[in-house]
Amino acid sequence: MSDATRIQERKQRPTTGRIATYLGAFTIAFWILFPIWFMFSMAFTTREEVRSFPKSVFPFTPFSTDTMEFFLGVDGVMSGLINSIIVAVITVVLSTVISAPAGYAISRYIFPGRDLFRLGVLAVRAFPVVVLSIPLAVLFIRANLFDNILSVALMHTILTLPTTILVISSVFASVPYELEEAGQVFGASPWQSFRHIVLPLVVPGIAAASVLTFVLSWNEVFAASVLTLENRTLPALLLNQLSQSGPAYQFAGGFFLMIPSLIFMFVIRKYLFNMWGQVSK
Partner 1 sequence: MAVITPRKKKRSLTPYLLIAPAVLFLAAFFAWPMVQGLILAVYDDEAVLPLVAEASIEADRTGELPQGAAVAILGQQGNTIDGELTSDLLTEQWFRVTGTDPDGADVDGWAPETRIRVRDEASDGTPIGGTVRPVLGENADPLTPIRSEPTERADVIAQLEQRAPVEIAEVTVLEVWFNVSAVDEDGQAIEGWAPSRFIRAFENGEEGRVDRGTDGQFTSRFVEKMLDDRFFGPAWRTTLLLMVLIIPIQFVLAIVMALVIHARPKGTSGFLYVFSLPMGMSDLAVGILFFSIFTSNGLLNSILDLFGLIGDNPPTYLGADTRGWIIAAIVLAELWRATSIVMVIVVSGLQAIPDETLEAAELFGASYWQRVRYIMLPLLKPSLQVALILRTILAFQVFAVVIALGGGEIVTVLANETYRQYFELRDNNVASAYAVFILLLSLASSVFYLRAMRSQNEVAES
CB contact at 8 A, 74 and 249: yes
b vs e for 4-36, b when ≥16 Cβ sit within 10 Å of the residue's Cβ? eeeeeeeeeeeeeeeeeeeeeeeeeeeeeeeee
Q: Which is nearer to partner 1, 86 or 173 (CB)?
A: 173
Q: Does 226 bind partner 1 (CB under 8 A)?
A: yes
Give, in order, the Cα–Cα distances in Å from 43 to each of 38, 66, 87, 168, 240. 9, 9, 25, 36, 20
46 binds partner 1 (CB under 8 A): no
Give min distance, CB of 249 to partner 1, in A.
10
The answer to whether 207 contacts partner 1 (rule: CB under 8 A) is no
- 14 counts as binding partner 1 under rule CB under 8 A: no
Which of 67, 96, 99, 213 is close enough to bind partner 1 by CB under 8 A?
99
Q: What number of residues does the chain have?
A: 281
Nearer to partner 1, 154 or 206 (CB): 154
64 vs 274, beta carbon nearer partner 1 = 274
- Whose CA is closest to 238, among 67, 38, 36, 76? 76
Asked if 258 is part of the footprint of partner 1 (rule: CB under 8 A), the reply reads: yes
Distance, in Å, from the CA atom of 187 to the CA atom of 44, rounded to the nearest integer, reads 60
Residue 195 carries which side chain, given as an amino acid letter? Answer: R
Among 11, 69, 76, 192, binds partner 1 (CB under 8 A): 11
Indicate whether 139 belongs to the interface with partner 1 (CB under 8 A): yes
Query: Where in 58-97 is the site for partner 1 (CB under 8 A)?
Result: 58, 97
143 near partner 1 (CB under 8 A): no
Label residue 207 exposed, middle or buried (CB < 10 Å: 0-12, 13-18, 19+). Answer: middle
- Tell the smallest beta-carbon distance from residue 64 to partner 1 (Å): 17
108 lies in the binding site for partner 1 (CB under 8 A)? yes
Q: In terms of CB distance, is 3 or 230 closer to partner 1?
A: 3
Q: Is residue 17 a contact point for partner 1 (CB under 8 A)?
A: yes
- Using CB under 8 A as the binding rule, whether residue 188 contacts partner 1 is answered as no
CB of 281 to partner 1, least distance (A): 7
Q: Which of 135, 84, 124, 87 is nearest to 102 (CA)?
A: 124
Taking the C-alpha atoms of residue 127 and residue 134, their distance in angstroms, rounded to an integer, is 13
Q: Considering the rule CB under 8 A, would residue 105 count as an interface residue with partner 1?
A: yes
| CB of residue 165 to partner 1, shortest distance in Å | 6
**C-beta of residue 65 within 8 angstroms of C-beta of residue 49:** no
Q: Residue 135 or 187: which CB sits closer to partner 1? A: 135
Burial (CB count within 10 angstroms: exposed 0-12, middle 13-18, buried 19+), residue 85: middle
251 binding partner 1? (CB under 8 A): yes
